[in-house]
């Protein structure tokens, strides 16, 4: 009868309403999940973009709303190699920073620190030669990628492990072995002056000579910690650090550099009780 029909209709209507409500809830849940997934993908894409140079093998960005269309940051092998070099430099700077902190906190023995730091500095110099056209200096690179690594910046600019830079002269070290250090230092002085006089004044020609000279100066136990020749060599290395490998010093700079190196050599010989070197 009509009452049964009405009850049946109400039951069907109620069931339909429940079904619609369930369907609506499922759509809402699905939408929320989709939004969360998209948010996670966006955060991941942002992280990838910010760390592209630390992990270039995953360096991708997204361009469509559904974030399913990855784009590589490089267009050819040359650009990919550049990103790989950036990643290596980024990782190297971070490693030097950690090593410096470990040494300061006495978490690594001096001998192991000196060996590891020297190796990292050598790798850095190799990378700098490779990236000389795109990375003017390490400070510029660190500023570009928001790297707060003051200890690493100083260590790489000095180009010497802290154990050598701050080595304390011990009278017991002034033995026959110091004669080898003195001879090595004289060799590097003469080599640097000859290089300049032969007008080999590009960065990749002058910098290695000055770097070798500076390292050898720190190895001579007779020299005082404030020997001016160390500061002179360091200042010129810092100036060269801002140049590209193929850049050459100007005439005035060449004249000043030769003057500084000759004066440093004369002061070195006088401190050791030798004759005036004269250059």
**HSE of 138, CA atoms in CB hemisphere, 13 A:** 32
Distance CA 62, CA 73 (A): 11
Rounded mean pLDDT, 32-40: 58
- Cβ atoms of residues 172 and 217 within 8 Å: no
Helices (H) and strands (E) in the chain, counts: 10, 2
Dmax over CA atoms of the chain, in Å, equals: 131
Provide the pLDDT confidence category of residue 164 given band limits of 50, 70 and 90: confident
Grouping H, G, I as helix, E, B as strand and the rest as coil, residue 240 is helix
71 DSSP assignment: E
**pLDDT tens-digit map of 170-217:** 555 555 557 888 999 999 999 999 999 999 999 889 988 998 999 899
**pLDDT tens-digit map of 98-112:** 999 999 999 999 999
Q: Among 55-69, 73-87, 133-147, 195-209, whose mean pLDDT is lowest?
A: 55-69
Grouping H, G, I as helix, E, B as strand and the rest as coil, residue 243 is coil
- The percent of residues in the chain predicted with pLDDT above 70, rounded, is 68
Grouping H, G, I as helix, E, B as strand and the rest as coil, residue 248 is strand
pTM of the predicted structure, to 2 decimals: 0.61
- Cβ atoms of residues 278 and 202 within 8 Å: no
According to the model, what pLDDT value does residue 275 have? 46
Q: Give me the chain's average pLDDT, please.
A: 78
Distance CA 105, CA 227 (A): 28
Distance CA 214, CA 207 (A): 10
Q: Residue 61 pLDDT more than 50?
A: no
Rounded mean pLDDT, 3-14: 49
According to the model, what pLDDT value does residue 191 have? 96
According to the model, what pLDDT value does residue 55 have? 42
Q: Residue 81 pLDDT more than 80?
A: yes
Provide the pLDDT confidence category of residue 262 given band limits of 50, 70 and 90: very high
Q: Spell out the residues 6+ positions from residue 224 whose beta carbon is closer than 8 angstroms to its own.
A: 169, 271
Distance CA 205, CA 210 (A): 9
Angle at which helices 110-130 and 150-158 cross, to 10°: 80
Closest CA to 98 of 67, 83, 120: 120
Closest CA to 110 of 162, 46, 45, 40: 162
């Amino acid at each position: 009868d009509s009452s049964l029909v009405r009850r049946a209709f109400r039951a069907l209507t109620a069931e339909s309403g429940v079904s619609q409500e369930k369907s609506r809830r499922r759509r809402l849940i699905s939408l929320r999940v989709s939004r969360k997934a998209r948010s996670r993908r966006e955060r991941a894409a942002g992280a990838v973009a910010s760390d592209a140079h630390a992990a270039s093998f995953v360096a991708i960005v997204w361009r469509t709303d559904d974030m399913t269309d990855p784009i590589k940051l490089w267009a050819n092998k040359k650009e990919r190699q550049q990103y790989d070099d950036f990643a290596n430099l980024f990782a190297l700077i971070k490693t030097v920073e950690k090593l410096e902190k470990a040494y300061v906190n006495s978490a690594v023995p001096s001998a192991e620190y000196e060996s590891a730091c020297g190796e990292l500095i050598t790798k850095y110099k190799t990378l700098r030669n490779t990236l000389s056209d795109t990375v003017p200096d390490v400070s510029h690179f660190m500023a570009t990628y928001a790297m707060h690594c003051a200890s690493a910046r100083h260590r790489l600019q000095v180009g010497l492990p802290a154990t050598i830079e701050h080595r304390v002269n011990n009278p017991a070290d002034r033995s026959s072995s110091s004669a080898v250090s003195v001879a090595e230092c004289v060799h590097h002085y003469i080599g640097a002056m000859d290089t300049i006089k032969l007008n080999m004044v590009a960065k990749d020609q002058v910098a290695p000579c000055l770097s070798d000279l500076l390292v050898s100066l720190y190895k001579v136990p007779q020299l005082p910690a404030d020997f001016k020749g160390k500061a002179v060599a360091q200042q010129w290395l810092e100036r060269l650090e801002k140049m590209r490998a193929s850049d050459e010093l100007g005439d005035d700079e060449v004249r000043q550099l030769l003057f500084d190196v000759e004066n440093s050599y004369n002061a070195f010989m006088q401190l050791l009780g030798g004759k005036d070197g004269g250059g």
